[in-house]
Amino acid sequence: MHNALLPLITALKKKKALSGVSALLSWDQETYMPEGSIEQRAEQLALIDSISHAHHTSHDFKSAMAEVVDLKTGLPRIDGLTESEKTMVKAVWRDWQKTNALPTAFVEELSKATALGQHQWGIAREQNKFLDFAPHLQKMVELQRKKAVFYNMEGHAYDALIDDYEPGMKMADINPLFDALRDAIIDIRKRIETSKATFVDISESHYDITKQWDFGVDILNEMGFDFKRGRQDKSVHPFTTEFNRNDVRITTRFNPNDLLESFSSTIHEGGHALYEQGLDAYWDGTPLAEAMSLGIHESQSLLWENYVCYSWPFWDGHFNKLKQYFRYEFTGVSAEQFYRTINQVQPSCIRVEADEVTYSLHIMLRYEIEKALISGDLDVAELPTLWNQRMADYVGITPPNDTQGVLQDVHWSYGLFGYFPTYALGNLYGRMLFEQAESEIPDLNGSIRRGEMLALKTWLNDKVHKVGRGTTPSELITHITGKELSVTPFVNYLKEKYGAIYKVKL
């Protein structure tokens, strides 16, 4: 590392340590903290977050940066930096600029509106009263528009919001992808609906929770999750968090009647965790040892969950291992029957319960609404009607009420606009990455069948994880695969997989 960068690295490591403390407090709140301590925990978190914000906006941080970078342009002020060091410095400057772009009064207003909006959303959702949440949503939309103005970026306000989660990605890139994806998936869904395929029912059994836990841990070990640098616990909503790359925590949840609830979340969060554990130690504390974007993060979880652990090669090799835990529960069920059953397409009103085929349609709906809200083309009052119409057109079902419709997700009450598209982008990135891995790793599907998945983990470490935030998501995909980001690999994969499961031409 260039000597002139050292004061900046020290300042960055302090920032990272503070965010690790904050993440630890949040993790504890979701897993072990006694309920009674919620108010004190909120105070502790607010204190750490304000110290962290003060550090990032401090005179010391600014002068450490001014030593090496022109504060107006983000260009290096010193000679002799490597290309990676220049990229790192530019990313640090960009983060700093964004933090400083928002006036303190605005940050306070946003944080109050978020706390209140989230509270009101919870009540409105429970009571199925969209109108009670509408004024808070309206306020949040206005604040998001203001935030985009403060960012002062070129292009559409919504582009500036997307940039917080998927750097460099714009509506102009996403629109053609999502238009093609939506039409292709609606077509696949309609064709599947004509199928007369039947499935075995595995929902009647009771699946011992200790055995579910043990089977999940077996698979995490096969994937190469490092239990010396991470752990798994239980929580109501599964998540991944990291305090640093040597302490990555995942959570899962159990349903005694649904084996797949814990299995899916363990693998999904395990995929996120491998990303965090795989970051490059050399760049610790800097943006080059941070995940690139939410979409790339999601590509890692979806790759392991859908393309590895819900694939035929996986179950061809693992159904007998599962039966060692649940011998009686699966009497008379074959590996193929099990594989087909767990991959059934069952359209749902609820995004988080959606199957692999229809999931992206839920995202298209939210993306279209966000764009229209931020542009001012859609009034908040029109939301429930539009939501229900599009659900009927896209997913083929109409929500019975707003609780299961427009009020189901927490994101908008939190002010997370521009976040949703990253879920669907994750599928596109993930599929392209998996197919590239298939072409570079000899007999990848044979290894998945045998549970020897370290070659895939190492490939992802080298190609994706170690890059950190060294480039943009679409450049990363093109660099690794030699192809432009496209919906074709994902759509073809759905057609092939589900055509075989449903025995229809897709």
Residue 264 or 301 with smaller CB distance to Zn ion: 301
Minimum distance of Zn ion from residue 357's CB (angstroms): 18
Q: Which residue's structure tokens are 């970026």?
A: 153
Minimum distance of Zn ion from residue 268's CB (angstroms): 6
Report the DSSP beta bridge partners of residue 69. Answer: 76
Pair 286, 65: CB distance under 8 Å = no
Q: Of 392-411, which residues contact Zn ion (CB under 5 A)? A: none
Minimum distance of Zn ion from residue 294's CB (angstroms): 9
Count of residues near Zn ion by CB under 5 A: 1
> For residues 296 and 271, what is the distance between their CA atoms, to the nearest angstrom?
11
Q: Determine how many CB atoms are found less than 10 A away from the CB of residue 342.
A: 17
| Phi and psi based region of residue 301 (left: phi greater than 0; alpha: psi -120 to 50; beta: remaining) | alpha
Q: Verify binding: residue 265, Zn ion, rule CB under 5 A.
A: no
> For residues 232 and 267, what is the distance between their CA atoms, to the nearest angstrom?
11
- Is 269 a known active-site residue? yes
Residue 245 or 297 with smaller CB distance to Zn ion: 297
> For residues 34 and 26, what is the distance between their CA atoms, to the nearest angstrom?
13
Residue 275 or 387 with smaller CB distance to Zn ion: 275
**Residue in the shown chain whose Cβ atom is closest to Zn ion:** 301
Residue 291 or 369 with smaller CB distance to Zn ion: 291
Minimum distance of Zn ion from residue 353's CB (angstroms): 15
Minimum distance of Zn ion from residue 26's CB (angstroms): 16
Q: Which residues contact 469 (CB under 8 A, 6 or more apart)?
A: 91, 167, 287, 288, 290, 291, 292
Q: Which string of x and - marks every residue 274-313 that binds Zn ion (by CB under 5 A)?
A: ---------------------------x------------
Residue 266 or 388 with smaller CB distance to Zn ion: 266
Minimum distance of Zn ion from residue 233's CB (angstroms): 17
Pair 289, 417: CB distance under 8 Å = no
- Under DSSP, the state recorded for 37 is G
Choose among 373, 357, 366: nearest CA to 419.
366
Tokens of 464: 């994706």
Choose among 360, 420, 436: nearest CA to 180.
360
The residue from 242, 269, 305, 356 that is catalytic is: 269
Amino acid at 393: D
> For residues 366 and 363, what is the distance between their CA atoms, to the nearest angstrom?
5
Residue 212 or 301 with smaller CB distance to Zn ion: 301
Residues that bind Zn ion (CB under 5 A): 301
**Which residues are marked as active site?**
269
